[in-house]
Amino acid sequence: MKTLYVLPGRLAVSKDPVELTTILGSCVSVVLYDPLAKCAGLNHYLLTKLPQGEVASGRYGECAIPMLIQELERLGASRRNLKAKVYGGGAVLTDVQIGIGVGKKNIDFAFETLANLGIPVVEQNVGGELSRKITINVSDFNVIHRFINQDENSQVDISGRIKLEPIRKVKVGIVDDSATVRSLFQNVFSKHGLDVVGVAADPYQAREMLVKHKPDVITLDIEMPKMNGVVFLEKLMKHMPLPVVMVSSLGSQGEAALRALELGAIEFIHKPSQYDPAVIKQLGETLVEKVKAAASQKVLANRSQKKSDTKVEYAVSGLGIQGLKLIAVGGNTGSQDGLKAFLQSLNSDTPPVIVANSTLSSFIEAYIQKIKKNVSVRLSVVKENTHLTSGNVYFAPADNHIVVETQSNNFYAKLRQLPPVNGQKPSSDVLMASIASCERGGALGVLMSGFGRDGVDGLAAMRASGNVTLVEDPDLCAFPYGPQQAINLGIVDYVKSAGDFANTVMEIRNKRVA
């Protein structure tokens, strides 16, 4: 029998013989079924009351329960025949840190609401201190309930996936021909709690350092004497592969940086052009975030080995946009290939797409040149006050945030010189938050592979203002941190592979809006 996973903040109904399943921490699921109409469904809400100013959402019980009833009535159910089962609300602090005591509030809200609606509760399993998995068989309305024990709790989160493990203290090696840069990076890393185990002035010294100290990750300069960094990287990946962050001056050629990513480098960063305290402070936040991202590759490889062979299939969201006006795409580490697949599948009449990607921004012109022959849309870099029009994809330039504003019912992109946000510049959060403030219901927010929280809060803002959200499937991401956190927050409408994004865009544009 087909099994569909219901995401946090979503709901699903069916008359077909399927199983609907979800994982609950402090969240609550209300299962409703009509034995005469032979249909059933469940929701998964995180909190009770819709905040003022937000658009109605299944994240909140006061919306999720009426929405579930409405969807069942569309399938022929009668409210007077509905019966309810209630699950979840454990005293569990999940990844989303919803808060202590929220589980009980969610439980009380479910029972109070159902009583007011005159819907009898025929089964319940609520409270406790463990997460639980529930599955309803729509054919017979039977619900299988299973607690997730402490060992499993440490492995699974409410996205239905293996929990992302925290990164332990990272051992770093520095390879750079500049003594000033080596000293600067060493101070930055040490200040932020990273363990610098070795430094090297050229690839030959680097080889000895790697063998002796075995760092988790290295920073590698592109321009060095004796052997340039890209050539050394190619040799390294053949004989002693490990996570690498490439480093370059602002004047370096983008082709070299792009080639480094193709060879297996995880991230890329510019050396500072000046060494005043403000610049160093910004560099520290960004550099440390990128090094941690690279070091997490080993953790993710371990996670990959634990994955089940069974692919998670999600219950389809009912949301769409009539007259989609704008698409915002965020992401950073590991997103370049998925982004290319997405852009190559877009139609020439696609609404304007604007991309904030800190990994690619440093060599975005080279990236554009590499992929432009195989796309139907026009590609360009945002300049100040760029008018956003259909059939175009706009990229944020290096070391600039971008925001979107409206003028005379048209969208314009503008550059902003602000500090990094979540260690990223450009930041997906900055882009998406600006769209949330100027467009309600006509935009699509997309979050791709990335390390850290950047893009998660921006996606939440877009969802709260009535826009639709899409994330790259965490099981298919090189770095699933951002997408998985967004799923856990209950702010995601669609979970797809990057190769399916373009089809999903068309589906969203064509779907009837409830």
CATH at residue 240? 3.40.50.2300
Average pLDDT for residues 486-492, to the nearest whole number? 90
Task: Indicate whether 273 pLDDT > 80.
Answer: no
Give the pLDDT mean for 38-45: 95
Chain mean pLDDT for the chain? 86
Helix (H/G/I), strand (E/B), else coil: 123: strand
188, 143: one domain = no
Q: How far apart are CA 126 and CA 473, in angstroms?
A: 30
Higher pLDDT, 458 or 262: 458
pLDDT at 293: 78
Q: How far apart are CA 317 and CA 469, in angstroms?
A: 10
Collapsing DSSP to helix, strand or coil, 363 comes out as coil
Q: Is 319 a member of any domain?
A: no
Specify whether 192 is located in the same domain as 134. Answer: no
Q: Are residues 428 and 457 in the same domain?
A: yes
| pLDDT exceeds cutoff 60 at 181 | yes
Q: Which ranges of 363-480 does DSSP label H, i.e. alpha helix?
A: 364-371, 428-438, 456-464
Q: Return d(Cα 288, Cα 304) in angstroms, integer.
A: 24
Prior bond of 243 cis (ω within 30°): no
- Per-residue pLDDT of 346-397, as tens digits, reads 999 999 999 999 988 888 998 999 999 999 999 999 998 999 999 999 999 9
Has residue 317 been placed in a domain?
no
Q: Answer whether residue 91 is part of any domain.
A: yes
Same domain, residue pair 374 and 505 = yes
- The verdict on residue 300 lying in a domain is yes
Q: Which domain holds residue 195?
A: 171-304
Q: Of 100, 124, 153, which residue is a domain's last?
A: 153
CATH number of domain containing 20: 3.30.1330.200
Instruction: Please check whether residues 258 and 341 belong to one and the same domain.
Output: no
375 and 485 co-located in one domain: yes
Give the pLDDT score at 68. 96
- CB of 224 within 8 A of CB of 202? yes
Residues 186 and 278 in one domain: yes
Do 355 and 489 have their domain in common?
Answer: yes
Two tokens at 46? Answer: 């995180």
| Res 45 pLDDT > 90 | yes
90 and 126, same structural domain? Answer: yes
Answer yes or no: is 163 within a domain: no
Whether 339 and 474 share a structural domain: yes
Cα separation, 120 vs 106, whole angstroms:
17
For residue 405, tell me if it sits in a domain.
yes
* 278 CB-near residues (< 8 Å, 6+ apart): none
Which of the pair, 38 or 283, is modelled with greater confidence? 38
The DSSP secondary-structure symbol of 345 reads T
Same domain, 255 and 347: no
CA-CA distance, 448 to 471, in Å (whole number)? 6
Residues 186 and 53 in one domain: no
Q: Which of residues 409 and 310 earns the better pLDDT score?
A: 409
Please indicate, yes or no, if residue 391 is contained in any of the structural domains.
yes
Predicted confidence band of residue 260 (pLDDT cuts 50, 70, 90): confident
- pLDDT for residue 512: 45
Number of residues that this document lists for the chain:
514
Burial class (CB in 10 A: 0-12, 13-18, 19+), 8: buried
Closest to 19 measured CA to CA, from 133, 99, 96: 133
- Tokens 């008018």 identify what position? 387
pLDDT in tens, 400-448: 999 999 998 899 999 999 888 988 889 999 999 999 999 988 999 999 9
Count of domains for the chain? 3
Q: Are 423 and 454 in contact (CB under 8 A)?
A: yes
